[in-house]
Amino acid sequence: MLPDIPRERQLGILRKMLMIRRAEEHCIRFNEEHTGLLRGHFHVYIGQEATGVSVCDWLNPDDYVFTTHRNHGHVIAKGGDPKKVLAEIIGRATGYCQGRAGTFHVAAPGVGIIHTSAIVGGCLALAGGTAYAAQVKGEKAITVVFFGDGAMEEGVFYETVNIAKLWNLPLIFWMENNYRRAGGRGAGNAALELTNIPKALDVETTVIDGIDVGTVHKTAKSIVERVRGGQGPLFVEARTHLWPGNAFNMPKLIGGVTDIAWAWDAGKAPEKVRDWHKDHDPILNYVRELESAGMSRAELAKIDAEVSKEADAAAQFALNSPLPAAEDAVKYAFAGEGN
């Protein structure tokens, strides 16, 4: 279903989702086509784009967002600059954190993402903190914390939900269930339904299809309005489907970059990724819906070409950017003058 908003805004959502996809394809290519660019492990948000983009579409610039080891998508969704995201991913001085954070910890305080942690569940308590601060200061800002199903195994999840409910904090718990763990739902959790856990702490929960933009957008609107209106913390489980390229220790472009034409000609997609793009890719689903609503294939392909060009330029910007200077190694390490 398409979100019930003007066409221009619908297309803004498409552009953002495509930007995340294209930027992250570059991220994987940084790893596959170069040596030593990405040092260590990394994760991508491919397949979950409908969630972050639709939620952030209802947020104000001064609302807070906390994210995870899959942060690239959330940072771009909240208004982050893809150039600075890609530069940070490969540790460049032009990146959001001047190359100190790398792929796992991209943070963009200017757009409301004041910190990122790759520790599973690491941002939950921090999100409780910004929600509490906003409440004490009487600000209108709300906080959204995105996290995975796996984070619900961490003790900090229970502590944060509990205190958020007790103090009626303006906090949205937005869980993205990507069924990554073997066995799927609840694989590392005794709860049969993960929503049973917040429910036990008297926090209202909603379960939605996280690949359908219209559903996520509509849900996010009401959840954001209610939390902003002082109705306390709410919990959403958005269910997505694992992108086949994520089924490894490191993401791989096993079918190459996404071709928007697979939206109307699924048979052209490589077999390894065909079913996923046909049934579970939030972007191609959305493209099909826009086409059914009267947009031409040429118009949709043009948007993709424009976004891809911008993402290519962002990747080039990152590659051309310098590493941080050696003499600046301890800069920002200590509070005080010069930092």
Ligand X SMILES: Cc1ncc(C[n+]2csc(CCOP(=O)(O)OP(=O)(O)O)c2C)c(N)n1
For ligand X, give the closer residue by CB, 39 or 309. 39
Nearest distance in Å: CB 216, ligand X: 16
Name every residue whose Cβ is closer than 8 Å to that of residue 208 and which is 6 or more positions away in sequence.
215, 216, 219, 236, 237, 238, 239
Q: Which residue stretch of 144-152, 292-300, 304-312, 314-322 sits at the interface with ligand X (rule: CB under 6 A)?
A: 144-152
Work out the end-to-end distance of the chain between its first and last CA atoms, rounded to an integer number of angstroms. Answer: 49
237 DSSP 8-state letter: E
For 159, the enclosing helix (H) or strand (E) is: helix 155-166
Tell me the chain's radius of gyration from C-alpha atoms.
20
Q: Which residue stretch of 53-61, 112-120, 275-283, 313-321 sits at the interface with ligand X (rule: CB under 6 A)?
A: 112-120
**Quick check: 118 binds ligand X (CB under 6 A)?**
yes
2-27: b or e for each residue (b if 16 or more CB lie within 10 Å)?
Answer: bbeeeeeebeebbbbbbbbbbbbbbb
Q: Which of 10, 178, 195, 240 binds Mg ion (CB under 5 A)?
A: 178
For ligand X, give the closer residue by CB, 47 or 232. 47
CB-CB contact of 78 with 110 (8 Å): no
**69 binding partner (options ligand X, Mg ion, none; Cβ < 5 to 8 Å by kind):** ligand X
Token pair for residue 5? Answer: 């908003």
Task: Count CB-CB contacts under 10 A for residue 205.
Answer: 17
Q: 139: which strand partners?
A: none
Name every residue whose Cβ is closer than 8 Å to that of residue 1 and which is 6 or more positions away in sequence.
212, 213, 214, 215, 289
x/- mask, ligand X, residues 45-84, rule CB under 6 A, reads ------------------------xx--------------
Nearest distance in Å: CB 66, ligand X: 13
Q: Total number of residues binding ligand X (CB under 6 A)?
A: 11
**Quick check: 194 binds ligand X (CB under 6 A)?**
no
Q: Which of 120, 211, 213, 311 binds ligand X (CB under 6 A)?
A: 120
**Quick check: 149 binds Mg ion (CB under 5 A)?**
yes
**72 binding partner (options ligand X, Mg ion, none; Cβ < 5 to 8 Å by kind):** none
Q: Which of 11, 114, 119, 254 binds ligand X (CB under 6 A)?
A: 119
Q: 105: which strand partners?
A: none
Angle at 140 between CA 74 and CA 61, to 5 degrees: 35
For Mg ion, give the closer residue by CB, 45 or 96. 45
Nearest distance in Å: CB 171, ligand X: 18
**Quick check: 289 binds Mg ion (CB under 5 A)?**
no
Q: Which of 47, 102, 148, 214 binds Mg ion (CB under 5 A)?
A: 148
Nearest Cα to 207, choosing from 217, 192, 219?
219
Q: Which residue stretch of 126-134, 148-156, 268-276, 300-308 sits at the interface with Mg ion (rule: CB under 5 A)?
A: 148-156
Residues that bind ligand X (CB under 6 A): 69-70, 118-120, 148-151, 178, 180
Residues that bind Mg ion (CB under 5 A): 148-150, 178, 180
